[in-house]
Amino acid sequence: MRLSISVTTLLAAACAIGNSNALSIPSFANPQQLLNLEHYGNAFNSQMDKFAQSALNGNIVTAIANYFNEPLESISEETKKIWSDLILQFPQSVTNLNFKSNPKKATKGKGKFDVHVTDKKFPGHQLRVKSTPESLGVDTVKQYSGYLDVEEEDKHFFYWFFESRNDPKNDPVVLWLNGGPGCSSLTGLFFELGPSSITAGIKPKFNPSAWNNNASVIFLDQPVNVGYSYSSESVSNTIAAGKDVYAFLELFFKQFPQYNNLPFHIAGESYAGHYIPVFASEILSHEERTFNLTSVLIGNGLTDPLVQYEYYEPMACGEGGEPSVLSPEECQGMTDAIPRCTSLIKSCYESESIWSCVPASIYCNNAEMGPYQRTGRNVYDIRTMCEGSNLCYSDLEYIDQYLNLEDVKAALGVEVDEYESCNFDINRNFLLAGDWMKPYYKNVINLLESDVPVLIYAGDKDFICNWLGNQAWTNALEWSGSAGFSKAPVKSWEVNGKPAGEVKNYKHFTFLRVFGGGHMVPYDQPESSLDMVNRWLSGDYKF
């Protein structure tokens, strides 16, 4: 079978790009436009050319082997064939491949902070805190923003915390993470579940369905160089990112002990389907931790690609609750590519080596997402086409403008020169590091066996991390409750007396299909999403 790899699909890759990934998947009706986009267009092409050429010379393979400590002997014949197919697609000149992202322009010390927190357990780490963001009018509740600094590695993570609107002394605390990889959690704040959205006049507008109605919520920009976070270093895998997030949480709860005995939950979407199982496992591995891990919630995540990649075809071709948006030939093409795609993902699962994992991402993304993307349809919502210039949602542009206002940055203590909702270098780095297809779903088993409740929810109009795939992997997951879960009935979930979705639960594991939600459920279904989060946080795992 002939591979056809396009830079477009390679970039456009999965759920990964997450929330404001709307940015990174512009109109696929016009792939040229994607290639011309300044942030990664030409630079990325020339990267791929370099990659190809040095690969042809044998250099790239050696370079990767050295860079990632991956022995060359571990490459199978099939993998070699895939790499050479890949290389043939980019037969142009040049030399070294650079896996590192460019450092973000920032000035440490530019932000003015009130409190600095350190902890002997984390030498070289400090948390800087500012308590003035209320002046911005995003919410009237108590707020803190600032940076976690890891001096030795020159990493600076931005966060913004909002107290619960209800009873912050007793309400739970939620950490929210957007995906990407490489997209800012502040788009989750302003586009989805935070206390305000941003209007066309670039002003905050109160969100009555914000998740901080009954919980305190932390929005964290990670890994470094995402959103307002910055570094001269780069992070290109989920495991490394998890260690930083754990340190952040310890220092946060040290600074704010009034929250550290409260129930604590991690929620996120899209590529956070990779992050959350790993971050939560990292937290559990620290018995000395000073805070609770009460549950995790993953929305439209990419968690078990081996199962999920089989469901792009049914979702696009009429079996996900919407009519087919592709021709029978295109659907057939997607079906035909499944055996090779799954065999590549399987070898990635077995070896977890970038030799297998990178080609699996490239081949599968191309074969299973390419046909849909070429229609120009919104990958986050099968009901719509991408609107606006290069964003699928024009509201996202307002958020970018707002977060680049000087007075906003000053009020928050921001030290980066420019806010971007998604960093495409990071996206590429994760893909080229093989992170995309790795079997992080195994960490979900670890969480369940450690009695940490897990909610997998999915808006049922999303294509890119669709509900069929999420339903399928939750059914396929092997844990001590699998038999019970497989026998559990699918029940109706109602919000305000109206059908809002369907739920399947056994013990502390729940799959929830959200009717009428795209990739960003709180954006499309704010009331359902608030009911969902409040019920779950209150311990109602059955809905």
- Residues belonging to the active site: 270, 462, 519
Q: Does 258 bind ligand NAG (CB under 6 A)?
A: no
Mention every residue, 6+ apart, whose C-beta is less than 8 A from residue 287. none
Cis preceding linkage at 181, omega within 30: yes
Q: Does 214 bind ligand NAG (CB under 6 A)?
A: yes
Find, among 458, 436, 437, the residue nearest to 519 by Cα.
Answer: 458
Q: Does 475 bind ligand NAG (CB under 6 A)?
A: no
Which span (122-130, 288-296, 343-351, 426-434) binds ligand NAG, by CB under 6 A? 288-296
* Cα–Cα distance measured from residue 347 to residue 434, given in angstroms and rounded to the nearest whole number: 12
Tokens of 450: 């450690």
* Cα–Cα distance measured from residue 288 to residue 283, given in angstroms and rounded to the nearest whole number: 10
Q: Does 265 bind ligand NAG (CB under 6 A)?
A: no
**Judged by CB under 6 A, which of 155, 165, 274, 428 binds ligand NAG?**
165
**Judged by CB under 6 A, which of 213, 234, 378, 466 binds ligand NAG?**
213
Residue 188: other Cβ atoms inside 10 A = 30
Q: Does 185 bind ligand NAG (CB under 6 A)?
A: no
CB of 165 to ligand NAG, least distance (A): 5
Q: What is the DSSP letter of 175?
A: E
Site size toward ligand NAG (CB under 6 A) is: 10
Site residues (CB under 6 A) for ligand NAG, limited to 370-389: none
Q: Is 183:226 a contact under the CB 8 Å cutoff?
A: yes
Angle at 321 between CA 317 and CA 324, to 5 degrees: 25
CB of 432 to ligand NAG, least distance (A): 38
Directed axis angle between helix 41-56 and helix 77-88, to 10°?
130
Identity of the residue, 289 or 340, whose beta carbon is nearer to ligand NAG in the bound complex: 289
SS3 432: helix
Tokens of 50: 């370099």
CB of 478 to ligand NAG, least distance (A): 29
Q: Does 429 bind ligand NAG (CB under 6 A)?
A: no
Residue 55: other Cβ atoms inside 10 A = 22
- CA contacts within 13 A on the Cβ side of 250: 23
Torsion angles phi and psi, residue 84, rounded to 5: -70, -30
Identity of the residue, 507 or 535, whose beta carbon is nearer to ligand NAG in the bound complex: 535
CB of 290 to ligand NAG, least distance (A): 6
**Judged by CB under 6 A, which of 95, 199, 261, 492 binds ligand NAG?**
261
Q: Is 116:148 a contact under the CB 8 Å cutoff?
A: no
**Judged by CB under 6 A, which of 161, 228, 291, 473 binds ligand NAG?**
291
Q: Does 209 bind ligand NAG (CB under 6 A)?
A: no
Element (H, E) at 295: strand 295-299
* Cα–Cα distance measured from residue 300 to residue 194, given in angstroms and rounded to the nearest whole number: 18
**Judged by CB under 6 A, which of 76, 98, 232, 292 binds ligand NAG?**
292
Q: Does 529 bind ligand NAG (CB under 6 A)?
A: no
Mention every residue, 6+ apart, whose C-beta is less than 8 A from residue 110. 414, 415
Which span (284-292, 300-308, 388-396, 502-510) binds ligand NAG, by CB under 6 A? 284-292
Tell me, residue by residue from 39 to 78, as one string, x for binding to ligand NAG by CB under 6 A and - for no binding. Answer: ----------------------------------------
**Judged by CB under 6 A, which of 290, 351, 375, 475 binds ligand NAG?**
290
Q: Does 480 bind ligand NAG (CB under 6 A)?
A: no
Rounded alpha-carbon distances, angstroms, from residue 113 to 107, 126, 129, 147: 14, 12, 6, 9
Tell me, residue by residue from 116 to 155, as one string, x for binding to ligand NAG by CB under 6 A and - for no binding. Answer: ----------------------------------------
* Cα–Cα distance measured from residue 380 to residue 382, given in angstroms and rounded to the nearest whole number: 7
**Judged by CB under 6 A, which of 166, 209, 232, 475 binds ligand NAG?**
166
Rounded alpha-carbon distances, angstroms, from residue 166 to 137, 184, 214, 298: 18, 26, 5, 24
**Judged by CB under 6 A, which of 384, 538, 539, 540 binds ligand NAG?**
538
CB of 264 to ligand NAG, least distance (A): 8
By the criterion CB under 6 A, which residues form the site for ligand NAG? 165-166, 213-214, 261, 290-292, 534, 538
